[in-house]
């Protein structure tokens, strides 16, 4: 009886030890997925990731789509610096005898610096540049500063919220300019679905008296091997106020909403 009890106790200890090790592994992986500030691991303060995809169809019609994104980070003590960029270009032909024409061309580049006041609170300053050849804006530039809150920090779920204010300088395709003060709201949610899969949702709202720009980026990632993953992404962009496109007959307003669907391979290093 005592021997049986001893074996049961030993099995329980081994089970608890296994669960503890697994929890530590899961926590580490969750931190790596979100790029949690202050936890660079053994890689040092520098980290980066790049992703790219290309698709082409031919036959009765021709079309192609290409996308690229990159991000570099520097995390040291309470300071965190993030540099990112994206590009999406699509082209298509009306029929197999027509030349291909670019139907979408969008770019973004951004820089953000954060300083941790406490584990859950940080201050930030950011600079964002947007360019879309087929929108009402030739380009938009936003500078903002504010406060960030790490609202959720569990092994599987992460949520960051940011509130701030700043300024915007924009040029419309007509040549007119918009210079105004803006308010900013941003959010980042990451769900660690499993060991090799995660879901990420980003939302940014930049609002001024002339226009409110909203962008939502959803990504589903699945690990392939090592640091290589497959990423399915969907981007939704919306401007509340757009001008009339006089190049069309009859003239009509630019569309307020643009969407992009991307499939790419991502490598983290």
> pLDDT for 168-220, tens place per residue?
999 988 888 989 999 999 999 999 999 999 999 999 999 999 899 999 999 99
**pLDDT of 74:** 96
Percent of the chain topping pLDDT 90: 60
pTM: 0.79
34 phi/psi in degrees, rounded to 5 = -85, -10
Displacement of CA 112 from its chain's centroid (Å): 13
Displacement of CA 213 from its chain's centroid (Å): 16
Compute how many other C-beta atoms are within 10 angstroms of the C-beta atom of residue 105: 15
Residue numbers of the domain that contains 221:
2-268
Domain with residue 117: its CATH number is 2.40.160.40
134 phi/psi in degrees, rounded to 5 = -110, 20
**pLDDT of 104:** 86
135 neighbors 174 (Cβ within 8 angstroms): no
Q: Where are the alpha helices (DSSP H) in the chain?
A: 2-34
Confidence band for 51, pLDDT divided at 50, 70 and 90: very high
Q: With 60 as the cut, is the pLDDT of residue 155 above it? A: yes
pLDDT digits (tens, 9 = 90+) for 222-236: 999 999 999 999 999
**pLDDT of 248:** 56
234 neighbors 260 (Cβ within 8 angstroms): yes
For the chain, what is the domain count?
Answer: 1
Q: Identify the residue whose tokens are 């308010």.
A: 183
Indicate the burial class of 158 (C-beta count within 10 angstroms; 0-12, 13-18, 19 or more).
buried
Between 101 and 140, where is the model more confident?
A: 140
**pLDDT of 252:** 65
Confidence band for 134, pLDDT divided at 50, 70 and 90: confident
Q: Running DSSP on this structure, what letter comes out for residue 41?
A: G
Closest among 192, 219, 191 to 203, alpha carbons compared: 219
Tokens of 159: 């949520």
Displacement of CA 185 from its chain's centroid (Å): 15
DSSP-based helix, strand, coil % in the chain, nearest 5: 15, 65, 20
Peptide bond into 250 cis (omega under 30): yes
């Amino acid at each position: 009886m005592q021997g049986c009890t001893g074996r049961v106790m030993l099995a329980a200890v081994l089970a608890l030890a296994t669960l503890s090790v697994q929890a530590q592994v899961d926590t580490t992986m969750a931190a790596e997925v979100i790029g949690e500030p202050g936890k660079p691991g053994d890689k040092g303060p520098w980290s980066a990731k790049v992703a790219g995809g290309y698709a082409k169809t031919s036959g009765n019609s021709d079309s192609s789509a290409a996308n690229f994104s990159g991000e570099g980070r520097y995390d040291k003590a309470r300071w965190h610096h993030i540099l990112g960029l994206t590009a999406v270009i699509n082209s298509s032909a009306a029929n197999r005898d027509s030349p291909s024409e670019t139907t979408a061309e969008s770019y973004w580049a951004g820089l953000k610096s954060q300083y941790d006041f406490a584990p859950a609170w940080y201050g930030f300053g950011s600079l964002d540049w947007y360019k879309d050849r087929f929108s009402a804006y030739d380009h938009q530039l936003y500078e903002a500063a504010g406060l960030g809150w790490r609202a959720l920090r569990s092994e599987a779920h992460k949520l960051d919220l940011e509130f701030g204010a700043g300024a915007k300088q924009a040029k419309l395709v007509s040549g007119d300019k918009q210079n105004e003060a803006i308010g900013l709201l941003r959010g980042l949610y990451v769900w660690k679905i499993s060991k090799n899969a995660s879901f990420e949702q980003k939302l940014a709202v930049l609002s001024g008296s002339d226009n409110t720009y909203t962008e939502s980026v959803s990504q589903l990632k699945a690990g392939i091997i090592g640091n290589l993953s497959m990423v399915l992404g969907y981007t939704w962009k919306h401007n509340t106020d757009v001008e009339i496109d006089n190049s069309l007959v009859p003239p009509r307003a630019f569309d307020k909403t643009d969407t992009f669907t991307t499939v790419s391979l991502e490598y983290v290093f």
